[in-house]
């Protein structure tokens, strides 16, 4: 399980954008997001760098947690 803090994720639109970006980069992933805590958890076969880059390409700043 990968976990990231994404402090600049502030609304449901952000949640959708991050989820879509991760799913495009790693289609096998299961994404759980807690907006209030700015936490993204991803269960996937992909590596942390792939997921982190996908979040960054969506316009957000992921920090491994």
Where the chain has pLDDT below 70, the residues are none
- HSE-CB of 12 using CA atoms within 13 angstroms: 0
User: Angle at CA 61, nearest 5°, toward 37 and 34?
Assistant: 20
- Number of structural domains (the chain) is 1
Q: Which range marks the domain in which residue 49 is found? A: 2-64
- The pLDDT of residue 54: 98
pTM of the prediction?
Answer: 0.94
- The pLDDT of residue 37: 97
Residue 22's CATH number: 3.30.70.100
């Amino acid at each position: 399980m990968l976990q990231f803090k994404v402090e600049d994720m502030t609304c449901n639109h952000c949640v959708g954008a991050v989820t879509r970006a991760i799913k495009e980069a790693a289609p096998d992933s299961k994404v759980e997001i807690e907006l209030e805590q700015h936490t993204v958890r991803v269960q996937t076969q992909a590596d942390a760098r792939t997921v982190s880059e996908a979040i960054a390409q969506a316009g957000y700043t992921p920090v491994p947690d």
